[in-house]
Amino acid sequence: MSSKMPVILLIEDHHDIAAMVCDHLEYRGYEVDYAADGVTGLHLAVTGEFDAIILDLMLPGMDGLDICRKYRGEAGGSKPILMLTARDTLEDKVAGLDAGADDYLVKPFEMEELDARLRALLRRAGGDLAPTVLRVADLEFDTGTLEVRRAGRLITLTPIGMKLLETLMKASPRVVSRRELEREVWGDIVPDSDALRSHLYNLRKAMDKPFNQVLLHNVPGMGYRLVAADAD
């Protein structure tokens, strides 16, 4: 198991966006604390123990630029800050970075991009803070120890099976195309057309057949996805 899951502070006043980001990050294995206004957010940032801060630009009480300046200046805070904003002009981006933000994400954004930017910030800040344990429902894959468990039971997979599983878990609940899976495993030199199907069959037999709930789904004409049926 990973020794420490990163703790993220989200400062966002839009309830729907905050709920979506919190749910997604928790699903990915992060711990998340939340503030809906600038004053509370700054207080938490200064007094709490966080690995990174996701900060909206437009906030009641105190905007994101002021939070950045006070956190970096008066409080001497050093944790990475990812700023969220609907403003996408160069001037706005420069203002955010100059105030102390480390990266900038324009709304609307895809959760996969948020994931990637947050992982990059955590890597730069602490080396190994990004989660190494992938989770989908009761399935866990520790990419550090290469242990795969479902409902606590150890599952034995081939190296190709592990690569397929890692790709599907990182993408979950998105559908991954056949070509994308082939490229992740074999690069541009793909073996015969039945190779992927055979490896997916063995993966399904190992991780789904002994259990009541099916996680690996074939989406006709699109590809494959790893998701609990009740998560749709």
7-126 and 133-231, same CATH topology: no
pLDDT of residue 125 exceeding 80: no
pLDDT of residue 69 exceeding 70: yes
- Which band of pLDDT confidence, cut at 50, 70 and 90, is reported for residue 204? very high
Q: What is the Cα 226 distance to its own chain's centre?
A: 15
Each domain of the chain, given as residue ranges in start order, spans 7-126, 133-231
- Which band of pLDDT confidence, cut at 50, 70 and 90, is reported for residue 62? very high
DSSP string, 67-106: HHHHHHTTS---S-EEEEES--SHHHHHHHHHHT-SEEEE
| pLDDT tens digits, one per residue of 1-30 | 334 678 999 999 999 999 999 998 988 888
- Classify residue 29 by burial, with Cβ atoms within 10 Å: 0-12, 13-18, 19+: middle
| pLDDT tens digits, one per residue of 74-101 | 888 888 999 998 887 888 888 888 888 9
My answer on whether omega of the bond before 108 falls inside 30° of 0, hence cis, is: yes
For residue 124 the two structure tokens come to 């730069």
Could you tell me which residues come within 8 angstroms of residue 110 by beta carbon, excluding any fewer than 6 positions away? none
Inter-residue contact 64 to 55 (CB < 8 Å): yes
The CATH superfamily label for domain 7-126 reads: Response regulator (3.40.50.2300)
Question: Tell me: domain 133-231, CATH 3.40.50.11810, correct?
Answer: no
Inter-residue contact 141 to 131 (CB < 8 Å): no
Average pLDDT, the chain: 87
Q: Across residues 120-149, what is the average pLDDT?
A: 79
Q: Across residues 178-190, what is the average pLDDT?
A: 80
